[in-house]
């Protein structure tokens, strides 16, 4: 209903200008979105993927696979296989490490993450790692954007699907404002609607809205996410036929 009102105001605003101006459009909440999913890593422990599937709360799952050029999540293989067997659409994600050349990270992902045409796109996780004791460097914007493009292009060539870019508020603010237009972004925003926090990034595809979600089959907290559009748009995205 809200989308309909906005559409009417957009098309006939010159007629209903005063009425549209008076209408206070609230920001969408996660509950307003039809397609929800999760992302997980070793920290979720043993996962009952059949129960996750039956919960109806995981239309997709991104599973941590790799980090840098030599680390693999110890539960990646079990989660990768378990999600597929349970019928949960899943993809892998790579946590970028700023003290390792992008070429080495590309090779590492290829070594660990299988080529699976049924998987959803790979994710490139770009965020500052303030807890790292071995890598405190923060490369300039030009280098980061260049290396990201190299990674995205090669992963698309290898896996057949363009990766999604995950970003946190501070990293995006520091390095990605206005960059990589046309790419598919997945934004972390647990305090507010992403459009209110991320500058020049209202074309996002996925929104990570909490780190304290609960889903049947997973003990404890889990990140929860929404897809920006309808179920039919999501199916089109899975087929690689949707662009915002």
Provide the pLDDT for residue 24.
73
pLDDT at res. 131: 80
Query: What is the β-pairing status of strands 123-126 and 90-95?
Result: parallel
Instruction: Determine whether 103 is an active site residue.
Output: no
| Catalytic position from the list 127, 154, 156, 183 | 127
Count CA atoms within 13 Å of residue 56 on its CB side. 1
Tell me the chain's radius of gyration from C-alpha atoms: 19
Residue numbers of the chain with a pLDDT score lower than 50: 1, 3-4, 7, 10-11, 14-16
**Buried b / exposed e across 14-50, counting CB within 10 Å, b at 16+?**
eeeeeebeeeeeeebeeeebebbbbbbbeebeebebe
**Would you say 92 and 65 are in contact if contact means Cβ atoms under 8 Å apart?**
yes
Q: Which residues contact 106 (CB under 8 A, 6 or more apart)?
A: 150, 151, 154, 155
In angstroms, the CA 115 to CA 110 distance is 8
pLDDT of residue 16: 47
Three-class SS state of 194: helix
């Amino acid at each position: 209903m809200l989308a309909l009102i906005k559409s009417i105001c957009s098309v006939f605003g010159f007629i209903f200008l005063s009425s549209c101006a008076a209408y206070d459009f609230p920001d969408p909440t996660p509950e307003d979105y039809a397609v929800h999913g999760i992302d997980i890593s070793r920290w979720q422990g043993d996962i009952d993927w059949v129960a996750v599937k039956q919960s109806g709360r995981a239309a997709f799952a991104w599973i941590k696979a790799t980090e840098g050029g030599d680390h693999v999540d110890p539960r990646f293989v079990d989660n990768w296989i378990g999600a597929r067997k349970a019928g949960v659409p899943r993809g892998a994600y790579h946590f970028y490490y700023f003290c390792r050349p992008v070429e080495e990270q590309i090779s590492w992902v290829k070594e660990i993450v299988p080529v699976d045409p049924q998987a959803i796109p790979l994710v490139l996780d770009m965020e500052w790692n303030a807890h790292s004791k071995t890598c405190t460097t923060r490369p300039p914007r030009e280098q980061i954007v260049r290396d990201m493009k190299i990674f995205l292009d090669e992963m698309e060539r290898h896996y057949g699907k363009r990766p999604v870019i995950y970003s946190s508020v501070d990293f995006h603010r520091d390095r990605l404002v206005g960059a990589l237009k046309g790419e598919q972004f997945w934004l972390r925003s647990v305090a507010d609607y992403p459009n209110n926090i991320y500058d020049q990034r209202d074309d996002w595809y996925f929104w990570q809205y909490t780190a304290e979600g609960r889903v049947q089959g997973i003990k404890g907290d889990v990140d929860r996410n929404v897809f920006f559009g309808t179920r039919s748009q999501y199916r089109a995205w899975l087929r690689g036929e949707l662009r915002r």
